[in-house]
Amino acid sequence: MQEPAITAELIASHGLSPDEYNSILEIVGREPTFTELGIFSAMWNEHCSYKSSKKWLRTLPTDGPQVICGPGENAGVVDIGDGQAVVFKMESHNHPSYIEPYQGAATGVGGILRDVFTMGARPVAAMNSLSFGEPGHHKTRQLVNGVVEGVGGYGNCFGVPTVGGEVRFDPAYNGNCLVNAFAAGLADADKIFYSAASGVGMPVVYLGAKTGRDGVGGATMASAEFDDTIEEKRPTVQVGDPFTEKRLMEATLELMATGAVISIQDMGAAGLTCSAVEMGDKGGLGVRLDLEKVPVRETAMTAYEMMLSESQERMLMVLRPEVEAQAKAVFDKWDLDFAIVGETIAEDRFLIMLDGMVKADLPLSKLASSAPEYDRPWIETPAAEALADVPEVDPIDGLKALLASPNYASKEWVYSQYDTMVMADTVRIPGIGAGIIRVHGTDKALAFTSDVTPRYVKANPVEGGKQAVAEAYRNLSAVGAVPLATTDNLNFGNPEKPEIMGQFVGAIKGIGEAVAALGMPIVSGNVSLYNETDGTAILPTPTIGAVGLIDHVDHIIGCDVRDGHVALVLGETIGHLGQSAILAEVFNRIEGDAPTVDLMQEKAHGDFVRENRDLIKACTDISDGGLALAAFEMAEGAGIGLCLDAGDTPTLFGEDQGRYLIACNFDQAEALMIAAGHAGLTLQSVGKFTGQTVRLGAASAPLEELSALYRRSFAEAVA
């Protein structure tokens, strides 16, 4: 095939600016070949190089005594004691999921699972954070159904329980949904596998499924805004096969146990290019690839296509040559491709051959280390205007407005499509706070949560960033877990717009401050920028995935709400209504500042809940929808009515931070009051759980009526 001429149009179509192309000319010393241009495009796009975000990501706290491996590998690794580690990460598959919802979401799940087992960990839990446009938008129903089916279709077949997540709707996502996938796995702390190649002349081995043309240019597509040519981008979306992935995992873990693996890397974004370059660069070595040896499922594939394909269920490995036959036997047993496609070399070269012809010959280190790094201009988000008066709302009418919204209605329609119990270690399924799994064969448990409130971040990026971490901290603390560490998935619009970059910088500052104060370092993550369509950006959505440890399953704070239990609120209620759910749902007003986050108070409250777990029968954090929604959800889950003393809007629906709702009997409430007094914390009785009626101040409604509304509203809106 005649390779196309390198023109300004071709360069631009590869997502490279004129200045970036000039840098390539300086590095190579000549005009690049078409394949070389594709390789630079893949390595230097936003999705792979983090060129707009690296400067700020470096400011995030990533260390702690519990951290075994922080950012930079396929996933983060955290010590959980007894020689065990939890391996976890969250990543986005936003652009593909908007173009092709089922496959986009499915391959997002597949990719994050590979990131985990590539480190030597067996996946044990999954979560997802989904953001869609307004329910009435013509695309929303299709996207919701396709994405949820894709997440369930892949995760269920692979056999990993989905234990948590979140779903939101806002007009800002009309043209660009978000699909953030999280996975966690367990491994022996001394048997973690890394991606840095070592040793000259070591065989580079291709593992897994065959390479096709699906996903060619996927990473570049994911680093660009959408416009009216979106349908043309469908071929850039990968196609997943969970049954192949399951076999790949078993074969990989079996191979790792033999001691044959020197280094290993998932083939994700930018496929063979990115995996080979990262392995070589981290090990200070060059790599030669002979592409005719790559297993393919389509005829006459070019070097360009093979290097940029993002076909799924593939790995790249550097192997100890003396165990080649043993390693191949493992993959033959699992009916997977095993092909030696190259070797490590001493020179700083990325040498790509096809049928004896040189298709690319580049300095390997420059592909990674010389990727552009921008200090984008940014404008601090202006302080929000003070909130104008908010009229009082009938408490029951206000609660009904929340329950009727797919944002706050039960998400059972979503998580009922996911397998939540496979592997038989799930302790708490989605729908009731943080998900919990038992650490198999031990008395320990791990808790998982995913949190962000995008409207807070837009109003006040610093406080919104802090709040996302603080809410994750509260969700873990509310089940009795000690928060260990976090992964972040930073979803923003076009960073070339100073106001968008200002949102990013502010959120990073808030997140950094919060993880430092709460002892939850960032150990992995993903940045997804250019989430815009026709110039309209999404809400800034820095999703925080967090993991906590419970030292014994008997120490889990349960959901045992009973008739007669006292309702207590830990933390001070001022009644902050700026950017609140009630303001948006009842008055259609997105106004005011985000609530402030007192990190020292957050820590003190979390410590108090965990230290007094024996006195607490049920606990939840108070966030979106305030006390009224938190108390209703707790009551509805137990099938018991509710009586709250307050009837005013700020007390019932305010979203002051740092607060927990606690249920317990009278004697336990008394003991908690004494303990809170000694600790100098605010803890007050706000009502009780009783009967079959929900009473808020003087207003009331049957629990049955409200429960039916809560349970059906989501499906009626978008299913």
What amino acid positions are annotated as catalytic residues? 47, 93
Residue by residue, DSSP assigns 669-708 as HHHHHHHHHHHT--EEEEEEE-TTEEEETTEEEEHHHHHH
360 and 39 Cβ atoms separated by less than 8 Å: yes
71 and 57 Cβ atoms separated by less than 8 Å: yes
Distance CA 290, CA 361 (A): 12
Which amino acid is it at 99? I
Question: What does the block give as tokens for 18?
Answer: 């004129």
| Residue 91 β-bridge partners | 181
125 and 80 Cβ atoms separated by less than 8 Å: no
714 and 410 Cβ atoms separated by less than 8 Å: yes
35 and 362 Cβ atoms separated by less than 8 Å: no
β-pair type (286-290, 350-354): parallel
Please list, residue by residue across 357-378, b when 16 or more beta carbons sit within 10 angstroms of its beta carbon and e when fewer do: eebbebbbbbbbebbeeeebeb
Distance CA 695, CA 432 (A): 22
Distance CA 649, CA 394 (A): 8
* SS (HEC) of 606-675: HHHHHHCHHHCCEEEECCCCHHHHHHHHHHHHHCCCEEECCCCHHHHHCCCCCCEEEEECHHHHHHHHHH
Which amino acid is it at 222? A
State the distance between the two ends of the chain, measured CA to CA, in whole angstroms: 47
143 and 466 Cβ atoms separated by less than 8 Å: no
Strand, coil or helix: what is 552? coil
For 306-356, strand residue ranges (E) read 314-319, 337-345, 350-354
How many angstroms from the chain centroid is the CA of residue 140? 21
